[in-house]
Structure formats: C-alpha cells, structure tokens
Structure 1
Amino acid sequence: MPRWAVIGLWLLFAAAMAPLQGPLQTRAADESDTFLARGSESAEAKRVIEERFRAGNESAAVIAYFRDGGITSDDRLRITDDMTRICAAATIPTLKLVGSPYGLACGDQDPLDLSPGGPGLLTSPDGSVALASALMTDDSTPVAEAAVSTIRAIVPPPEGDETGLKAWVTGEVGFEADRSEAVKTIDETLLLVTCTVLVLLLLAIYRSPLMALVPIFVVGIAYVVAGGLTYLLVRAGVTTVSGQSTAILIVLMFGAGTDYCLLLVARFRDELRRTADVDAAITNASRRTTPAILSAGAIVIAAMLVLAVADFNATREMGPILALGIAVMVVAGLTLLPALLGVLGRRAFWPAVPHVEADPHPVAPLWRRVGQLVERHPAATAVAVTLVLVAGALGNLGGREPLDFSEAFRTPPQSVGGEQIISERFIPGRAAPVEVVMDYADGEAVISRLTTGLTTPVQEMYLFAGSIPPREGQESELALAQAYLKMDPFSDAATDSVPGLRKAAREAAGGRRVLLGGEVPEAYDTREALKRDNRIIVPLGLLLILVILAVLLRAVVMPLYVMATVILSFGFALGVSSLLFAHVMDQPASDQTLEQFAFIFLVALGVDYNVFLLARIREERAGADSTRAAVVTALERTGGVITSAGLVLAATFSVLMALPLESLFQVGFVVALGLLVDTFLVRALLVPSVAVLLGERNWWPRTAGT
C-alpha cells in the first residue's frame, strides 16, 4: 500500500475514535465497583443491599461539624440554617432528605433513611462533634460531585469560620467526590507530562526536533485509536474501565510504544549510513526489526492478558485494555512509523542528517569499554551484579502493612480529614461500619451473638427495618444491620477479624445465609483475592513469557537465565523501594496491588527489552566466529539504543509519581527503579556476561546458527 495511503487511513481511524475519548473518561471516573473482588461475600452483600433495600441505591454525604470544647447553642443554629440552605439548593436534584441531631430540615423521615440509634449516635460523647447528613436517591459519581460541591460551599471550611466552627464533608458521597476529583485530571496530566518528558529525551538522543516529534505523533495516534476501541468494549459490556486503568494505559503505550519506535528509527539511521537509497533503508530496517518488535509486543500482550483471570476487579479489567493498547501500538509501529520515515527520509534527522559512511555501525567509546569488560571478566561481572541484586531483594523480608483509605492520597482530601475526626471522637468503627444482611427472623440472634460474645470485636450494632418485600420465589424478608467495631476499622486487626465475625454470624443464624459487607469485609476479601490471583497470575505469566522467548530464540537455556535475571531485578526494585518508602518517605504502608502490578510490568517489560539484545545476538551469531564475539558485537552496537529505550520507559513510568494517588505513586516508583536497574545492570552487564560464560550452550538444544 502507498505510504500516504497508510498515513491517511491511520488519521481517518484516529479522527473517528477521537470523539469517544470524552465518554471513556466519564466511564473511567466511576470506580464504585473497581476495587471489589469478583464472587466475594462483600460484593454479594453490596449487590443484595442495592437490590433489596431502599437505601441500597441511595447515598449519603456526612457533614462532621467540630468545635474544640464542644458544640455551642450558636453552632446548633448555624447547623440548622446550613441544612435549610442545602435543602433549598437547586443543584442536587435527587436530594431526598437532610437532617442533623437537631432536627429534620427536609424530606420524609423513614427508618431506613437515617442512621439508627437516635440523636445520641450523631453527637460525640465529648460534645465536640455533630454529624449531619444529606441523603440522595442517586449514587452516581456526577451526583456525588454536584452534592459535595454545593454542601462545601455552604458549611464552614475545615480551617474554621470566623467563630472557629469547622466542618468536613465526608461519608460515601465525600469519598466518591474526592476520588473522582483525584482521577479527573489524571489522563490530561499524564499526557502533558509524559509527552514533555519524551520530547526532551528524544531531543537529547537524536538532536533532531522532527525526530523528537515523530514517535510521539505515532504513539499519540495509536493511543487515540486504542482509547476509542476501549470505550466500544466498555459500552458493549466486554470489560469495565477505571481511572487507574486509563492512567496505566497512557504510561504503557507511550513508554513501550516510543521504545518500539526507537528500535526501528535507530536501525533506519544505520541503514541510511549504509546506502543512499531511502526506500532500501526503510525496507531493510523494517525487515530486521519487525521480528523483535512483534516478539516484544507479544510478550507484553500475553502478560497483560494473564491479568484477565484475576478475581480482583481492578486487576482483571486492566488485562484486555492494556493488551489492546499494546496490540494497536505494535501495528502502528510496523505500519504508520515506516510510512512516515519513508516519506521524510533523511530530513527526519535534521540537522544531524546521516550520510553514507564506510563504517555504518560506529561504536561509542562507552559501549566499547562495556563490551571489553564483559568479554574479559564475565564471571566477576556476573557475580558482582548478582550480589547487588540479591542484597537489594533482602529489603522484602520486613514486610509492610496494607495501605488504607486514609493513606490512599498523597495529600489527604477533606473526606479523609472528616473520617479521622469521626474515628477520634466516636466509636472507632463508626468511620466504617460493617453491614450485615440476614433473614429478618435471625436479626435478634445475630446481633446478640456479635455484640455480647466474650471475644467479639463489635461494640455496638443497630438494626434497620426489613427489606423491600420479597419477590416471588424468595423465602423470607431480609434485615440490614450496621455493626461498629471496637478497633480502628482500617487496621490489620479489623481486617483479620472478618472470618471470625462471619463464622459467628452464621452460627447464630443456624447456618442460614448471612452476608457481611462494607469497607472492612471488602478489605479482607480483596486481600484474599489478591493472594489467589498471585498464585495463578505469577506462574501463568512466567510460563507464557518463557514459551514466547523459547520460540523466538529457538533455544531453552537462554530464556531460562533471562527470566531469572529479570525476576532478580524485580526483587531488587521491590526490596529497595520498601526500605525507601518505610524509612525515607515515611510511608510504611503498601498498596495491596503493588507487588502484582510491579511483577507483571517489570517481568514483561524487562524481558521485552532483553528481546532487542537477544535478537541482535542471534543475528550477529550468523556471521561471527563464536557466540562470545556475537554477544560483544551486539552489546556494542545496540547498547546505546537499548539503554535509551530503558531510560524512556523508566522516565515514562516515573510520571505516575506526579499523581495524587499513593497507589499510582508507588507503582511508578517501583517500576521506574526496576527498569533502571534492568537497563544498567541486567541488560548491559549481567545478561551479556552469562551469555559469554555459556558460549555455544546458549542455543541448546540447537547448535549456533541453526
């Protein structure tokens, strides 16, 4: 197909997909079900509450008023006036009820509408906090954002008004609004910062303004297409999407995609030094790099698709989305990029235009010295690097507690501050009650067992009225209760108490179904789901990558030690990061998905870029006297471009550290560190050293050149 036709088709496809970017971001902003475990009891409890209880499809904004020394009579008047103004606001169309400990401002009182237990439950024992609430009949993200914006404009700020009265808007609506605000600008921020970083790096590598923009243009077109296709999959119900998934999609596509472009561009420049024929140069460059790009892309796609077997929703939804993004990027890298380079020719590298030279493969002095080190001292080099990696991996021995909601933001928003006030001044479990769904007839027995047992962690428990009348085929009416724990609901002890609570509740119900939901059971179910996922994802991912490597290299020995070295670099990155997070950054807690995401990205991408070196070793072996000579030549000739690719990818993932969510900061830090270690230690020193030591045995069971 003519080059201009290829470029035109990509532009038309991107233009068709561009209008879908907005709807994709709207879908991604709603993360209400993202962090649940598929098939878990807590997920089932949430579903039953939404279907069978009138409060299930409603959401509440909790306003925590605070005055040090106690709420005064003037404060009560202010709170009552605030509630009246919230009722009169026209920006919350689904508002159902607004009330405080001092009365109902608007709406019809219903046993299911307000927290049970009476006004005493809405004021702290020391009288310093009063809790008001606004109930809405719609729990969607746009409604939460509108409600929180309206309420925060009415009530005093957390810093206090002129009288010293303070207020925080929190609860499920506050959480949803703050989380949405945190992820709302993630994609725009990532795109801006990522493109800026990549342009600066490419300018430094090629010293050409046009060549700094060509890869960004290719990846940008591919990203628009992938985003549109992702939205179509979401709309068809094939997958779900969250802000976290779209953020990782940007980083992965721009990082890996730019690297694929770098490989072809570097080979194109070499070919332009060999021949004056631009068409021949781009044809030869494409022919020699296509197998490596296809293999590298296949490795990442396979690793991402493995995520689709996970039980944890946030992990599972990433699988098809990231795999689709890389697949589109590979196709663009093998079609759009060659077409653009063929049209631009030597002009693409202006002002550093390559000319035909006697030696088309100049070796930089640095990589000549690295090649000499590996050739002369392979054993010492391999041992030294391995010791460094093992020492860093020892940092994993300490372990870290999981990140809770209050630690999820780099800068805690208002909803977190409100929950902290509630936790400090009320029953500890008041900040995150455990929701218990059971047959209405079992309510009294379950409550008695959970609140009066000698070892129960429940301090207080309140029963709502029954569910919506049972439908045909359902045996009984259900009851919904809230249990407040004696301990911090975000602590490990609270999470560990869930199995005991579930067992006790079922025993009290005579073996009949009792469902425990809410944040604490969800945290336990998430932890267990991640354990199960790791037992499947890690070995399955390793096996698939190993098979792809063996097919690519037509060998068994080389894939085995390449995988081992990449796993070592993963261990080093995670161990050193754990030490830095805990002892330098004062962040001892870890996001529960960190190990899983870091493993998948580092192993897949680490092997991915080893493919570039290994493919070149095989290519050089065809014309070399020995594998040792082929390894050294391949290292010297590709060291610059492969190291540049590693730097680009590490820089791209480090952009995640600029985002307000702690989970993405940690993923960005660990993956960026691991990629740097893989670039400068594993790919530059360890893998070549082991390859030199093994010599012709690298190609077992085949012989070199077959």
Structure 2
Amino acid sequence: MPRWAVIGAWLLLALAMVPLQGPLQTRAADESDTFLARGSESAGAKRVIDERFRAGSESVAVIAYLREGGITSADRQRIVDDGARICSAGTIPSLKLVGSAYGLSCGDEDPLDLSPGGPGLLTSSDASVALASVALTDDSTPVAELAVKTIRDIVPPPAGDETGLRAWVTGEVGFEADRSEAVKTIDETLLIVTCVVLIVLLLLIYRSPLMALVPIFVVGVAYIIAGGLTYLLVRAGVTTASGQSTAILIVLMFGAGTDYCLLLVARYRDELRRTADPDEAIRRASERTAPAILSAGAIVIAAMLVLVLADFNATREMGPILALGIAVMVVAGLTLLPALLGALGRRAFWPAVPRVEATPRPVAPLWAKVGRLVDRRPGIIAAAVTLLLLAGALGAVGGREPMDFSEAFRTPPESVGGEQIISERFIPGRAAPVEFVMDYDDREAVIARLTEGMATPIEEMYLSAASVPTNGQDSELAVAQAYLKMDPFSDAATDSIPELRRAANAAASGSVLLGGEVPEAYDTRQAMARDTWLILPIGLALILLILGVLLRAVVMPLYVIATVILSFGFALGVSSLVFTHVMGQPASDRTLEQFAFIFLVALGVDYNVFLLARIREERARAGTTTRQAVITALERTGGVITSAGLVLAATFSVLMALPLESLFQVGFVVALGLLVDTFLVRALLVPSVAVILGERNWWPSKMST
C-alpha cells in the first residue's frame, strides 16, 4: 500500500475514535466494582443486595461535626438545618434519607439505627462530635461525587465556619468521591507530563525537532485508536475500565511504543549512511527490526493477557486493555512509522541529517570500552553484578504491611480526616460497617450471636451493635449492619473476618454472606494471593516460550529470564528500604509486587530482545563466533537500547507525580528496575553470561560457522 494511503488510513481511524475518548473516561470514572474480588463472598453479598432488595446496595456518607468543648444547642440546630438543606437541594436523585442524633430530616426508614439507644453511634462520649448520615440508593462513583459535592457545599468546612463548628464528610461515599477526585485528571496529567518528558529525551538523543515529534505522533495516534477500541470492548461487556487501568495504558503505550520507534529509527539512520535511497533504507530497516519488534510486543501482550486469569477485578480488567494497546502500538510501529519516515526521508533528522558514508562509522568510545571489558572479564563482571542484585533483593525480606485507605493518598483528603475523628472518639468501625445478608428467620439468632457472644464473647472482640433494615421486595432475606470495635482499615479488622463468618454461619440455619469494605479487603487479599501464584508462573512460561521461538534456543532464554527476575528482586528490595527509611512509607499497596513483577519482567525482557535479536543476527554472519557476535551486538546496539531503557524508565517515573500512593510506588519500583536492567543487566550481566557460555547459548540448536 502506498505510504500516503497508510498514513491516511491511520489518521481516518484515529479521527473516528476521537469521539469515544470522553465516553471511555466516563465509564472509567465509575470504580464501584473495580476493587472487588470476582466470585468472593463480599461481592456476592453486594450482588444479592443490589438484585433482591428494593433500595439495592445502599451507600452512606457520614458527616462528622466537631466542636471542642462540646456540641452546643446552636450546633444542634445547624445540624438539623443542614440536613433539611441536603434534602431539599434536589441534586442527589438517589437520596434515600438524611438523619442525625436529632431526628430524620427526610426519609421514612433508617438503615443505621438513628433512633435513640444505639450506644456510641451518633454522639461521642465527650459530646464534642455528632454524626449525621446521608443514605443513597445508588453506590456508583458519579453519584458519590455528586452527593459529596452537595453535602460539602452545605456543611461547615473542616477548617470551621464563623462560629468554629467544623465538619468532615467521610464514610464509604466520602471515600469513593475522594478517590475519584484524585484520579479525575490523572489521564490528562499523565499525557502532558509524559509527552514533555519524551520530547526532551528524544531531542537529547536525536538533536532533531522533527524526529523528537515523530514517535510521539505515532504513539499518540495509536493511543487514540486503542482508547476507542477499549471503549467498544467495555460497551460490549468484554471488560471493564477504571482510572487506574487507563492511566497504566498511557504509560505503557507511550513508554514501550517509543522504544519500538527508537529501534526502527536508529536502524533507519544507520541504513541512510549506507545507501542514497531513503526508500531502500526504510525497507532494510523495517526488515531487520520487524522480528524484534514483533517478538517484544508479543512478550508484553502475552504477559498482559495472563492478567485476565485474576480474580481481583482491578487486575483482571488490565489484561485485555493493556494487551490491546500494545497490539495497536506494534502495528503502528510496523506500518505508520515506516510510512512517515519514508515520506520525510532524510529531512526527518534535520539539522543532523545523515549522509552516505564510504566506511562504517566507528563504535562509540563508551560502548567500545564496555565491549572490551565484557570480552576480557566476563566471569568477574557476571559475579559482581549478580552479588549486587542479590544484596539489593535482601531489602524485601520480611515484606511490609499492607497499605490501608488512610495511607492511599499522597495528601490525605477530607474523608481520611473524618475517619480519623470517628476512630478517635467513636467506635472505630463506625466509618465502615460490616453487612450481614441472611435468611429473614435467622436474623435474631445471628444478631444475638454477634452482639451477646453466646459461646464465644464475639462482642468483646469485634462488635458494638447491629440492626436490621426494613426489607423491601424480598421477605425471605434480611440485612444487618455491625460496627467493629477496631479500626476497620487495619490488618486486625481484616483478619477478623473469617471468625465473624464462622460465628454468623454457626448461628444461622442457612448461609450468611458478609459484605462491606472490611470483608471486601479480606477477600481482596485472598484473591491477590491466589492470583500471584497463578499469574506469575504462567506469565513466565509464556515469555520463555516466545523467547525460545525467537532465538530457537533454550539456554539463552532461561538466563535472560533469570537476570530480569534478579533486577525485579533488587528493585523491590531497594525500594522497600527507601520507602520505609527515607520516605516514611512503611506500608505498601497490595498490588505493588504483582504489578511490578509483571511490568518489569515483560518490559525488561522486551528491550533485552533487541540485544538478543542483534546477537543472533551477528552470529549468523559467516566466520563469526558467538563471543564476537555478543561484543559486536553490544557495541552496535548499546546506545539505542540504553536510550530505550531510559525512555521507558522516565515514562513510568511519571506515575510518581500522581496523588495516589499505589501508583507512586508502582512508578518508583518499575522505573528503578528498568534502570537496573538498562545499566547493569542488559549492558553487563547478559553479555557476560553470553560470552561465558559461548556456543552453548544456542542449545539445542547449532549455529553454523
């Protein structure tokens, strides 16, 4: 197909996908089911409430009013007035009721037992804090955002009003709204910062304004198309999307996509120095880089697709989204980029335009020195780098405690402050009740078992109170809510769920389902442990298989995988030490190890493929030994592959500019691991091991001499 036809086809497809970017962001904004575990008991409880109760799965915003010295009569009137204003605002279509210790402002039933007699539920023991609740019949993220905005516009701010009365909006609705606000502009921020970082790096690499923009343009077109296709998948019900998955899509496509472009551009520039015909140069460059780009892309696609096996929704949804993005990027790198380079010709590199040279350009002095070092001391280098990586990995021994909600933000939002007020002056679990879904006839026995203790004093360990909301359409089921006597976001609360489940089911004639944020946290932890043991081995096996097919060997793929795993261990260990002792972050996100492993192994092997493919190409030349091929490939590809590693590391480091601690940590660990891969593993360790093994690298194949 003529190059202008290729360029036109890509641009037309991108233009067709532009209108789908907004709907994708709208879908991604609703994360109400993103952080649930597929098939878990807590997800089942939520589904039963949604499907079989009139109001569906209720969500509650809790307003904590504070006046040091005690709530006054004027404050009580303000709380009642605030409730009336929330009821009459007309901006919360799913509003079910608003109530406080001083009565209901609207609504005819109260799922939180707002009537007098609920010990410690509505006013603190020192009378300094009073709580109000706003119950909603829709637990989606957009509704939570709308409700919290309405409430915060009405109640006093945390800093206090003119009288000194202060208020925080928290509870599950407050948490959801604040998380959504933190990621609302995440894609725009990532796109801007990523593009700026990449343009600066490409300018430094090529010293050409046009060549700095060409890869960004190609990746941008591919990203728009991938985003549109992702929305079509989401609309068809194939997958879901969240702010987290769309953010990672940007980073992965711009990082890996720019690397694919760098490989082809570098080879194209070399060919322009050998031939006067730009068309011939781009043809040769494409032929020689296409296998490496295809193999590198296939490795990342395979690693991402393995994520669909996860039970944790946030992990599983990334699989098809990220795999689709890389697939589109690979196709763009093999079609759109060559067409653009062919159309631009030598002008693409202005002002550093490559000219035909009579003799091959000498190897860069730095890489000539690295090549000589590896050639002379491969054993010492391999041992030293391996010991260094193992020493760094020791920093991860013992692990770190999981991060709770209050630690999830770089700057804690209002809902976290409100939760801390409640934890200090009320029953700590008041901010996140546990829901019990049971047969209607079992309700009294279950509540008695949980609150009175029966054979085991459960009440002393966990619960303060429970109530049965009015049942809607289903007369066979009931829902009770209970409040833990501990911080609901702590490990102790999460660990209590198995015993609570055993106690509830022991008291019931049928089964009891536990839902709410604490059971969801427990089920998430269990699901992620299962996911890790399933996803990681399968991902490694697929990557090993693709490497074996590319290199037609077994030995080389095995030690390449091993070296990348070493760099992952080093990055995780050193990061743990830095997070804990330098940044004061003793907790880590539950997804950190899993995501860091998948990205580091897939992407680390990804651009190591560029070196391995060049080694095989050089070895295929008549009269060349494997030792010579390794050194030549290292010297010739050192600059471009190091540039690719820096680009990828810089792109992932952009995640550190975002307000969520989980993305900050993923960005830090992956960027560190990629830098280690770039300067230690790919530049020193892999070539040294390859030199030591010599012709045994290709076993069971035999390379002709």
Alpha-carbon contact 1:55-1:113 (below 8 Å) kept: no
Residue 482 of structure 1, CA deviation: 1.3
SS at match of 2:480: strand
Is 248-257 or 123-132 further displaced after alignment?
Answer: 123-132
Alpha-carbon contact 1:99-1:132 (below 8 Å) kept: yes
Is 431-440 or 6-15 further displaced after alignment?
Answer: 431-440
- Indicate the residue corresponding to 1:331 in structure 2: 331
- Structure 1 residues 404 and 365: alpha-carbon distance in aligned structure 2, compared to 1, 3 A threshold: same
Matches within 5 A, 1:254-653: 254-453=254-453, 454-456=456-458, 457-470=461-474, 477-510=476-509, 512-623=510-621, 624-653=623-652
Structure 2 unaligned blocks of 5 or more: none
Alpha-carbon contact 1:300-1:604 (below 8 Å) kept: yes
- Structure 1 residues 664 and 128: alpha-carbon distance in aligned structure 2, compared to 1, 3 A threshold: same
Is 430-439 or 313-322 further displaced after alignment?
Answer: 430-439
Aligned partners of 1:519 and 1:435: how far apart in 2?
Answer: 9
- Structure 1 residues 111 and 413: alpha-carbon distance in aligned structure 2, compared to 1, 3 A threshold: closer
Alpha-carbon contact 1:306-1:540 (below 8 Å) kept: yes
Match for 1:631: what amino acid? V
Match for 2:605: what amino acid? V
Alpha-carbon contact 1:61-1:134 (below 8 Å) kept: yes
Residue 447 of structure 1, CA deviation: 1.8
Alpha-carbon contact 1:300-1:608 (below 8 Å) kept: yes
Residue 308 of structure 1, CA deviation: 0.4
Residues 491-526 of structure 1, C-alpha deviations (whole Å, 9 max, x = no match): 11111111111111111114x210011111111111
Q: Answer yes or no: is 1:158 the counterpart of 2:162.
A: no
Residues 107-157 of structure 1, C-alpha deviations (whole Å, 9 max, x = no match): 232144755665752111211111112233333333222221122122111
- Structure 1 residues 686 and 384: alpha-carbon distance in aligned structure 2, compared to 1, 3 A threshold: same
Alpha-carbon contact 2:109-2:470 (below 8 Å) kept: no
- Structure 1 residues 426 and 548: alpha-carbon distance in aligned structure 2, compared to 1, 3 A threshold: same
Residue 292 of structure 1, CA deviation: 0.1
- Structure 1 residues 479 and 95: alpha-carbon distance in aligned structure 2, compared to 1, 3 A threshold: closer
Alpha-carbon contact 2:3-2:340 (below 8 Å) kept: yes
Alpha-carbon contact 2:497-2:518 (below 8 Å) kept: yes
Aligned partners of 1:230 and 1:290: how far apart in 2?
Answer: 25
Aligned partners of 2:116 and 2:14: how far apart in 1?
Answer: 57
Residues 553-574 of structure 1, C-alpha deviations (whole Å, 9 max, x = no match): 0000000000000000001001
Aligned partners of 1:132 and 1:529: how far apart in 2?
Answer: 35
Matches within 5 A, 1:680-699: 680-699=679-698
Residue 398 of structure 1, CA deviation: 2.5
- Indicate the residue corresponding to 1:703 in structure 2: 702
Residues 605-648 of structure 1, C-alpha deviations (whole Å, 9 max, x = no match): 01111100000000011225311111000000000000000000
Residues 329-388 of structure 1, C-alpha deviations (whole Å, 9 max, x = no match): 000000000000000010000000000113334311111111111000000000000011
Q: TM-score, with normalisation over the residues of structure 1?
A: 0.97
SS at match of 1:56: coil
SS at match of 1:161: coil
Aligned partners of 2:570 and 2:489: how far apart in 1?
Answer: 29
Alpha-carbon contact 1:27-1:242 (below 8 Å) kept: yes
Is 494-503 or 84-93 further displaced after alignment?
Answer: 84-93
Aligned partners of 2:264 and 2:489: how far apart in 1?
Answer: 50
Aligned partners of 2:407 and 2:358: how far apart in 1?
Answer: 60
Aligned partners of 1:372 and 1:534: how far apart in 2?
Answer: 41
Aligned partners of 1:40 and 1:102: how far apart in 2?
Answer: 38
SS at match of 1:329: helix
Alpha-carbon contact 2:62-2:133 (below 8 Å) kept: yes
SS at match of 2:273: helix
Residues 189-243 of structure 1, C-alpha deviations (whole Å, 9 max, x = no match): 0000000000000000000000000000000000000000000000000000000
SS at match of 1:675: helix
- Structure 1 residues 556 and 372: alpha-carbon distance in aligned structure 2, compared to 1, 3 A threshold: same
- Structure 1 residues 59 and 502: alpha-carbon distance in aligned structure 2, compared to 1, 3 A threshold: closer
Aligned partners of 2:208 and 2:565: how far apart in 1?
Answer: 36
Aligned partners of 2:179 and 2:620: how far apart in 1?
Answer: 56
- Indicate the residue corresponding to 1:473 in structure 2: none
Aligned partners of 2:170 and 2:496: how far apart in 1?
Answer: 25
Q: Answer yes or no: is 1:48 the counterpart of 2:33.
A: no
Residue 94 of structure 1, CA deviation: 3.5
Match for 1:275: what amino acid? T
Alpha-carbon contact 1:117-1:462 (below 8 Å) kept: no
Aligned partners of 1:157 and 1:99: how far apart in 2?
Answer: 19
Alpha-carbon contact 1:6-1:335 (below 8 Å) kept: yes
Aligned partners of 2:117 and 2:410: how far apart in 1?
Answer: 36
- Report the aligned-residue RMSD: 1.4
Q: Answer yes or no: is 1:226 the counterpart of 2:226.
A: yes
Aligned partners of 1:235 and 1:190: how far apart in 2?
Answer: 24
Aligned partners of 1:76 and 1:434: how far apart in 2?
Answer: 28
Alpha-carbon contact 1:63-1:167 (below 8 Å) kept: yes
Aligned partners of 1:702 and 1:563: how far apart in 2?
Answer: 19
- Structure 1 residues 322 and 578: alpha-carbon distance in aligned structure 2, compared to 1, 3 A threshold: same
Residue 466 of structure 1, CA deviation: 4.9
Residues 425-474 of structure 1, C-alpha deviations (whole Å, 9 max, x = no match): 1112212121111112112222222233345232313121453343xxxx
Matches within 5 A, 1:5-16: 5-16=5-16
- Structure 1 residues 116 and 523: alpha-carbon distance in aligned structure 2, compared to 1, 3 A threshold: farther
- Indicate the residue corresponding to 1:200 in structure 2: 200
Match for 2:203: what amino acid? L
Residues 517-555 of structure 1, C-alpha deviations (whole Å, 9 max, x = no match): 111111111111011111110110010000000000000
Alpha-carbon contact 1:446-1:505 (below 8 Å) kept: yes
SS at match of 2:358: coil
Alpha-carbon contact 1:13-1:225 (below 8 Å) kept: yes
Aligned partners of 1:220 and 1:116: how far apart in 2?
Answer: 57
How many residues are paired up?
A: 699
Alpha-carbon contact 2:604-2:677 (below 8 Å) kept: yes
Residue identity (%): 80
Alpha-carbon contact 1:371-1:635 (below 8 Å) kept: yes
Alpha-carbon contact 1:594-1:666 (below 8 Å) kept: yes
Is 483-492 or 321-330 further displaced after alignment?
Answer: 483-492
SS at match of 2:56: helix
Aligned partners of 1:503 and 1:127: how far apart in 2?
Answer: 36
Alpha-carbon contact 2:42-2:515 (below 8 Å) kept: yes
- Indicate the residue corresponding to 2:88 in structure 1: 88
Alpha-carbon contact 1:263-1:641 (below 8 Å) kept: yes
Aligned partners of 1:688 and 1:115: how far apart in 2?
Answer: 70
SS at match of 2:62: strand
- Indicate the residue corresponding to 1:167 in structure 2: 167
- Structure 1 residues 517 and 468: alpha-carbon distance in aligned structure 2, compared to 1, 3 A threshold: same
Aligned partners of 1:139 and 1:432: how far apart in 2?
Answer: 14
Aligned partners of 1:88 and 1:480: how far apart in 2?
Answer: 28
